[in-house]
Structure 1
Amino acid sequence: MADSLFKVEVAFALPHKQRIVALTVPEGTTARQAVEMADLPSLFQEVPSDTFTQAPLGIFGKAIRHPEKEPLREGDRVEVYRPLQIDPKAARLERAKRQAKEQ
């Protein structure tokens, strides 16, 4: 019996460039496998390729705890998350310090 196929998307974005790759995958494909199939390193050559093999993943904005085990469903959009450049708490603290100096 042939595997049933379905459509998913893989998304990645930089501040200046975004891509959503549409894929047709066999049943049982995991989120991490879909990212591999999307071949994002060829689309984002300015990003180290291990970014895509190690990055946290999510489906429609919800983080996936174990992307190597998470099977996809028809219509899922796998999102590849970039590492944070600065801790959000540190960024808020810096903004608050700047605003205090301006007053």
Structure 2
Amino acid sequence: MAETMIDVEVVYAAVDRQVLLTVAVAPGCTVSEAVRLSGIADQFVGEDVLALPVGIYGKVVSDPHVRAVEEGDRIELYRPLLADPMEVRRLRAAKAAKNRQ
């Protein structure tokens, strides 16, 4: 009897584009395996997307080599931030306050 596959999504947003791929994997497949099997690394040549931190629906997965995926999971690859959002917000507020004077 053939093993039933489950579908998961793998998504990565680069600065200039984003890619969402659906991949069918075997039950028990780990997050890392699902990312590799999706082929998303082929979409971003020159970037080491397989080494990026990952999460499922916005929650970071601390050990993607152990955590098994579930049907319908959306695996997200997180690229490093170019700027600290808190600092950007603080600078924008200071600029707005200066312009009001």
What interval of TM-score do these two structures reach, taking the shorter chain for normalisation?
Answer: 0.7 to 0.9
TM-score by length of 1: 0.82
Aligned residue in 2 for 1:54 = 51
Deviation at 1:82, TM superposition (A): 1.4
4+ aligned runs moved over 6 Å, structure 1: none
Aligned residue in 1 for 2:23 = 23
Aligned pairs, how many?
A: 100
Aligned residue in 2 for 1:89 = 86
The unaligned stretches of length 5 or more in structure 2 are: none
Q: Aligned partner of 1:14: which letter?
A: A
Deviation at 1:3, TM superposition (A): 4.4
Q: Does 1:11 align with 2:11?
A: yes
Tell which deviates more after alignment, 75-84 or 1-10.
1-10
Tell which deviates more after alignment, 29-38 or 14-23.
14-23
Deviation at 1:2, TM superposition (A): 5.7
Q: In percent, how many aligned pairs have the same letter?
A: 36
